[in-house]
A and B are shown apart, each in its own frame.
Chain A
Amino acid sequence: MTPGPEDRPGGAGPAERTAAAAGRPTRASSRTDGHPARPAVGRATRGPADGLATPAGPGSASAGNAPRRPAYEKHTAPEARRGNALHAGAWWLWALGLATAASRTTNPLLLGLIVGVAGYVVAARRTDAPWARSYGAFIKLGLVVIGLRLVFSALLGSPVPGAHTVLTLPELPLPDWAQGIRLGGRVSAEQLVFAFYDGAKLASLLICVGAANALANPARLLKSLPAALYEAGVAVIVAMTFAPNMVADVMRLRTARRLRGRPTGGVKAILQIGLPVLEGALERSVAVAASMDARGYGRTARVPAAVRHTTNALTLGGLLGMCAGTYGLLAAEGAAYGLPVLGIGLALALAGLRLGGRRSIRTRYRPDRWGARAWLVSGSGAAVAALMIYAGTVDPEALLPGVVPLVVPGLPLWPAAAILIGLLPAFVAPVPPKEASQ
């Protein structure tokens, strides 16, 4: 649990609530646990009538006059605020865990389950922020991927042998030198099913990434970057605030074209608007740069020359080591030294980054803290990934259903149960406030 630093007075309701609903005697929990369950949370199951103090539960004799509320209530997810916000990295780890799980299977039932889990969590915990609306776009992108995969499979053929012919496309005769390539021709059901499974896997990966994108505040994620990478983070944040401004500029200028009596659509309009929009963006970026400069951006601490040189050497050496290590891993004969060199390179580069951070005098205002809820969220993703990888070694058949012959894929029970672990964030992550967009 990550108690918020500022406690607001708990909702009025919980204080009067009796332990009746819990069905067992509970200890009056402290009012300062930082997780006042507000009525808006809606997830806290509570007695049918708050006002009725009916000590009905077995052994509820201890229900006295002290303000009481069910013990589990302090464990229900609090309303999200700045102080208790879930670390953006936790969402990404969770989503990458789901994505890893998706990459291990082509079973459409399991993939569907993964997408369902991701979708449920997004529906339960996303805010009204602009990035949160991108989830729909990712789902559409996933569908497009499946469609494309099917179309290409039908057009270009597939190595999958198949007995059931669905339709026959007119085949395009190709010259001799293009042997092995086929355009059109017979399309079999097996090949289409295979393509669908494959496309569905890719689409699930995309949707998992989309879920992370919808749930994690990108600006906060960038704030968690190490100090040495801060500049890059700022560049991305400024770019992110610029994109909506440019869109607004385009809308405004298109409207303005109407005022000059010109059509607002068409290529000509875009060309004519393009230059003023770019000019505006340039002017704005210069203004932001001036503002950042005047507000102290880029102030650096003096570091001794020795530290500077060490930083350079560490970073450079680390990167070289990582290159050599990767080459070793991929090349046929270097597998023995590849991994250690890669590890050393990585360690050197990280040390370089850490040392490089000394030049920056920046401090961080209210960084997201990695609390128990963040552990639970990221842990659930990791658990899904680990269990699916394990399932792949134990029962590969169930995870990768065959297409020749065509069979109805079965639902392997315990991998499916493992995926359901991914629902945990929908219960432990703080609930975004309802009025966030107002």
Chain B
Amino acid sequence: MIRFEQVSVTYDGAPAPALRDADFTLPEGELTLLVGPSGVGKSTLLGAVSGLVPHFTGGTLRGRVTVAGRDTRTHRPRELADIVGTVGQDPLAHFVTDVVEDELAYGMESLGLAPAVMRRRVEETLDLLGLNELRDRPIATLSGGQQQRVAIGSVLTPHPKVLVLDEPTSALDPAAAEEVLAVLQRLVHDLGTTVLMAEHRLERVVQYADQVLLLPAPGAPPLLGPPARMMEISPVHPPVVALGRLAGWSPLPLSIRDARRHSPTLQTRLSPPSAPPPPSASPAFEARGSGGEAPSFGKGRGGESRPQGPGLLARLLGRTNTAQPPAAPAPPAGPTPPAAPANPTAPAAPTAPAAHVTNLSVRRARAEVLHGITLTVTPGETVALMGRNGAGKSTLLSTLVGTVPPTTGQVTVCGRTPHRTPPPDMIRHVGLVPQDPRDLLYADTVGAECAAADSDAGRPAGTCRALVTALLPDVPDDTHPRDLSEGQRLALALALVLTGRPGLLLLDEPTRGLDYAAKARLIEILRGLAADGHAIVLATHDVELAAELAHRVLILAGGEIVADGPTAEVVVSSPAFAPQVAKILAPGHWLTVAQVAEALEDTP
């Protein structure tokens, strides 16, 4: 169906090809997953299928790409529109019209299908994707998952033979992602559609793949093979694969179900009947005890320069705590010692909370976005906010940073009321890294950004640059922020926010678009900050991140807190928010591969 023959793509002005020696054939009716670290040319490969590379993006394509027998050299993207449906990373950038029903019909109108056919297919697609109640809604009012489904529906209506998707579930909460994946699977199974999909969150998709197309490193030719074999050599892999590799399972399990068949042996190795693991301690710290080194998780990218991490950061930021009147006690080994199950979140020493929220409600017009939120975050604590899209996570972060005033209730951050404190004062106490870190970047070089951050925060010149150097060792001053990769941009934004040495650090969806290596670095950095006494609140859909990092998980639904407790207790009991390792080793209390690895070392 899709055939690449010795394809190389070189963009204008680029020193090396973005994609080299791609030579493979994807058979019809299979779901192929495109896997690889950031920047290896995944988007280029996807674009080459739809003809957007090189017709739209420019650059030189050597070799030949044929889709259903049509050569993309002689067929422009619009002439492939009846064969290939493409959905990009951002569904909003995909929409041409403003109403769901029109959007579904748009592609068919362009192809000139008969009105009766269009009408029937729109109705079928509305049913297939469960969009019927939304048919008259303006697209801008839909949630992320709904928008993603509309985007998929809009390319399905012309009945393409090939569907190309670039990270269809990255921006979605676990439930919405399941929804989208179920639709894709149905397309493959029932309609015989060929699907080619790139995705960073492999834990969500790898078990659905029939084939995996692996781009191991920049400039390396792609490899095609069955998922289990590809995962054995892939530098990026989900926790289930990491666990399988660790335990030496063969064949490598890809789904929770497969892994659970192997798990009894591991369970017995892990927990001799006499000594069950302590259930209430939040085990994320036990892994930290071993020098913060995650043995296998996300360390695949060979030669990846490790962040100089906690050490340097601690030195850079260490003064914060002493400068701050209610000094947080420097936590010696772990920020929160494993506490009694009755009140596991309270730190041992009575300290002033980093943030205190009482009975908070926020209204937008008539909608109550948040209702009756009461919450305390102590220094050194990492809290993960989870919940579906639109549950109020971002709004809660905004009230903590003061950009959204509370309608009723009290918010106190480091003794101040955020929305009444002038911004220059506020950034020394609380910092927020927004969902899109680009929002924080105005200048055209990294150096200028750093200088601006220093003067904004009133810190001596060079403070921010030192932080950037710690987080991004090899980025020169004159780089344009837009030329950085997603992970680097996030690190830069983090450095800018940290320049003010805020006691409370907020992150909104930090792992969106990050590959496993970048995520592992982020985890190291945040652990270092937490160890330093920073309180961290992160809103995330990424259950694996929460499992690695958070001491405590709050689940929001409809603007209310529905669960609040230590990570291990909250996530293990939830089918949607449990990380893979917890699902595999249930009823054990392991959350991450790192913990399992350490436990295995202890019990040889």
A and B, one complex? yes
Q: Which residues of B contact A275 (CB under 8 A)?
A: 442
Q: Is the CB of B96 within 8 A of A363?
A: no
List the 5 closest pairs (A to B, CB-CB), nearest first.
A296-B81, A365-B105, A287-B93, A296-B110, A361-B112
User: Which residues 237-269 of A have a CB within 8 angstroms of B?
Assistant: 237-238, 240-241, 244-245, 252-253, 255-264
Q: Which residues of A contact B403 (CB under 8 A)?
A: 255, 258-259
Q: Which residues of A contact B51 (CB under 8 A)?
A: 294
Chain B interface size, as a band, is: 35 or more
Q: Which residues of A contact B101 (CB under 8 A)?
A: 82, 365-366
**Chain A interface SS verdict (over half):** helix
The segment out of B83-91, B183-191, B588-596 that lies at the interface is: B83-91
Q: How far is the CB of A271 from chain B (nearest CB, A)?
A: 10
Q: A276-B441, A291-B94 are in contact. List 11 more A-B contacts (CB 8 A).
A: A81-B136, A82-B136, A258-B402, A259-B497, A261-B456, A261-B457, A287-B90, A293-B52, A293-B76, A363-B108, A363-B112
User: Which residues 347-384 of A have a CB within 8 angstroms of B?
Assistant: 361-366
CA of A281 to CA of B504, assembled, Å: 33
The segment out of B266-274, B289-297, B373-381, B424-432 that lies at the interface is: B424-432
Q: Which residues of A contact B112 (CB under 8 A)?
A: 299, 301, 361-363
Q: How far is the CB of A241 from chain B (nearest CB, A)?
A: 5
Q: Which residues of B contact A434 (CB under 8 A)?
A: none
A313 contacts partner chain B, Cβ-Cβ < 8 Å? no
Q: Which residues of B contact A301 (CB under 8 A)?
A: 112
Q: Is the CB of A261 within 8 A of B500?
A: yes
Q: Which residues of A contact B110 (CB under 8 A)?
A: 295-299, 362
B102 interface neighbour in A258, A289, A297, A365, Cβ under 8 Å:
A365
Number of interface residues of A (CB under 8 A): 50
B363 contacts partner chain A, Cβ-Cβ < 8 Å? no
CA of A296 to CA of B109, assembled, Å: 9
CA of A405 to CA of B431, assembled, Å: 71
Q: Is the CB of B78 within 8 A of A299?
A: yes
Q: How far is the CB of A293 from chain B (nearest CB, A)?
A: 5
B560 contacts partner chain A, Cβ-Cβ < 8 Å? no
Q: Which residues of B contact A129 (CB under 8 A)?
A: 138
Q: Is the CB of A294 within 8 A of B102?
A: no
CA of A197 to CA of B426, assembled, Å: 55
Q: Which residues of A contact B99 (CB under 8 A)?
A: 219
User: Quick one: given A219-B97, A276-B442, A287-B94, are A363 and B113 in contact (CB under 8 Å)?
Assistant: yes
A167 contacts partner chain B, Cβ-Cβ < 8 Å? no
B124 contacts partner chain A, Cβ-Cβ < 8 Å? no
Q: How far is the CB of A286 from chain B (nearest CB, A)?
A: 9
Residue of B nearest to A271 (CB): B442
Q: Is the CB of B423 within 8 A of A292?
A: no
CA of A293 to CA of B431, assembled, Å: 41
Q: How far is the CB of B170 from chain A (nearest CB, A)?
A: 16
B95 contacts partner chain A, Cβ-Cβ < 8 Å? yes
CA of A245 to CA of B500, assembled, Å: 31
Q: Which residues of B contact A272 (CB under 8 A)?
A: 442
Q: Which residues of A contact B114 (CB under 8 A)?
A: 363
User: Quick one: given A291-B93, A365-B109, A366-B115, are A261 and B426 in contact (CB under 8 Å)?
Assistant: yes
User: Can you give 20 contacting A-B residue pairs, CB < 8 Å?
Assistant: A219-B97, A241-B98, A245-B92, A258-B403, A259-B401, A259-B431, A260-B440, A261-B425, A261-B427, A261-B456, A262-B456, A272-B442, A287-B88, A290-B77, A293-B55, A294-B86, A295-B158, A296-B78, A365-B118, A365-B122
What sequence of 0s and 1s flags, for each residue 378-392 of chain B, a beta carbon within 8 Å of any chain A beta carbon? 000000000000000
Q: Which residues of B contact A361 (CB under 8 A)?
A: 111-112
Residue of A nearest to B431 (CB): A259
What sequence of 0s and 1s flags, for each residue 412-433 of chain B, a beta carbon within 8 Å of any chain A beta carbon? 0000000000011111000110
